[in-house]
Chains A and B, each alone.
Chain A
Amino acid sequence: MIPASFDYVRPESVDEALEALTDAGEDAKIIAGGQSLMPLLRMRLAMPDTLIDLDRLDSLRDVRDDGDAIVIGALATHHRVLRDPLVRAHAPLLVRATAKVADPAVRHRGTFGGALAHADPASDLPAVAVALDAELLARSARGERRIPAADFFVDWMTSALEPDELLTGIRVPKPGEGWGVHYEKFHRTAQAWAIVGVACAVRRDDGRVGDARVALTNMGPVPVRCRAVEEALAGGAAIRDAAELAAEGTEPPSDLDGSAEYRTHLAAVLTARALAAAAAV
C-alpha cells in the first residue's frame, strides 16, 4: 500500500517547525524517523494533510549534560543513543532497552523522541522513561513545559502533547552511584514486539535491594509504573515476593500473542528476572 497524498514540509529550525505546526492545525502529523508512522500511513491508519519532517533539526539530535540530568534530543536516533557516552554513563537502562527496540535497520532511523511521542504501549522505551522518572520537554509558540513521563502517556497511542506542541528533548535524571539496571523483553521471535517488557533500575543496600524503579511495557494502554513492587522492596521484601505484585493495577490487553491472564503471569515472572539481573550488577 501507498500512503494517501499529503503536503510535505521540512522546517529548518524549531521555530519554523512550531510555525508549521500552528499553520497546519490538527490535520498535520510530525515525522521524525518515520519507523512507526510510515506503516500507519501505509495502512491508512493515519491520513494527515500535512507531514512535517523534523529531519533537518540537527539541534534536536544531541545529548548534553545538564548537571543532575542528561538531556537527550528528541531526534536522537536509537543508534545514537546506543553509542552516546553520556547515555552510556548515566542512563544504562536506556541503552539496554534501546538495544532491544525492533531491529538494527529500524534503530538507525527511529528516534527516542518519536518512540515516546508515538505513545504505543507495546513499544519498549515509554516504560523506560517512566521507570527513570524522565521529564519530556515540550515546546510550542506559547513556550516550553516539562512533562513528567508518568503524566505524558495519557492513553493508547495518545500523549499529553497539545496539537501545537513539539517534543524537543527528554531529561533523564542521573541516578547516582550503585544502581544496576535491566530490561527484560519477552517476544515470540527475535525483533518482534514485546508481549510484556520490564524496565528496572535497583540499588543494593547492605546486600539487599532497597531503592527500585520498575515499569512495564504492554500491560495496559500506557506504560505502568510498578509502585507496589517498589514499595515492597523498600519494605524489605524479597525479589520473588515483590515481583508477584507487578501486575497490580494493570489492564493488560488480550491479543493474538497472549491473553490478559498470560500477560499477568508474565509480568511477575519477568519482573523477578529483571530485578535479579539488575541487582546482580
Chain B
Amino acid sequence: MNSVPADGPDPVRAEITLTVNGSEHRLGIDTRASLLDTLREDLGLTGAKKGCDHGQCGACTVLLDGRRVNACLALAVAHDGADVVTVEGLARDGRPTRLQEAFLAHDALQCGYCTPGQLCSATAVLDELGRGLPSAATPDPAAEPVPDDAEIRERMSGNLCRCGAYAGIVAAVREAARA
C-alpha cells in the first residue's frame, strides 16, 4: 500500500558555525536539520520549543540576526555564520528584561510552553515599533505606529497560546512598550 521508493538517498552532512547567545559553535549537521532541532538537540538549548514544526504556532520563535523567525522553518545549513538569540539569551547576568518582568507581573503565561516564543516575538515587537515598521493594524502605514492594544495583538498573533494567556500577554507587552 505504501508507494514510497525504498532507496531514499543517504543523509548529507555539512559543517556550519553559529553564534548563539554570544557563544560561537562549530557544528556538523544533517542538511535536513532545522535551526530548531540544531538548537535543541545539538546545542542543548531547549528554550525554543517545538509545537508544530510547520511554522503555524510560533513556539520556536528566536531572533536570527536580530529579527524574529520561526526556527522550525529555517534550515540550519542555510544559516552558517548567523547570530542567534534564544530565550536563554534574553536576560543578561541573571537580570530579567522589562518584558520578562512584565510577563511575570501580568501572569502572561500558564503552561509556559509558548512563552519563550512569545518573549522572543515580543522583544522583536518592541524593536519593530521603535523602528516604525507598520503592521496590518497600523491605520496609516506611512505614519509612526502607536503601541496600542490593536497593534500589539496584531503583532503578537503569530504566537499561539492554547492556555489563553493573550490578555496578560497584551498587558505585558503594552507595559514594556511604554516603559
Contact = CB atoms under 8 A, between A and B. Distances in A.
A31 B78 contact: yes
B8 interface: yes
B95 interface: no
Given A8-B12, A102-B158, 18 more contacts: A5-B8, A31-B78, A34-B73, A38-B55, A39-B54, A43-B54, A79-B133, A83-B131, A88-B142, A92-B142, A104-B128, A104-B155, A105-B69, A105-B158, A106-B73, A106-B158, A108-B64, A189-B157
A103 B11 CA distance: 32
Interface residues of B, number: 44
A6 interface: yes
Interface stretch (A18-26, A93-101, A134-142): A93-101
Contact of B9 (A6, A31, A34, A190): A6
Contact of B8 (A4, A34, A38): A4
A82 interface: yes
Contacts of A102: 158
A20 B131 CA distance: 38
Contacts of B125: 104
B58 A4 contact: no
Report the 6 A-B pairs with minimum CB-CB distance, sorted nearest first.
A103-B158, A190-B157, A5-B9, A108-B67, A8-B31, A99-B136
B13 to A, nearest CB: 10
Contacts of B132: 83
The B contact surface, by secondary structure, is loop
Given A8-B14, A95-B134, A105-B69, A191 B8 contact: no
B141 interface: yes
A138 B153 CA distance: 39
14 contacts: A4-B8, A38-B55, A38-B72, A38-B74, A51-B31, A83-B131, A92-B141, A99-B141, A104-B68, A105-B158, A106-B55, A106-B158, A109-B74, A191-B158
Contacts of A95: 134, 141
A193 to B, nearest CB: 11
Interface string A64-96: 000000000000000100110000100010011
A-side interface size class:
35 or more
Interface string A2-42: 11111110100000000000000000000100110011001
Given A99-B138, A104-B128, A104-B158, A38 B10 contact: no
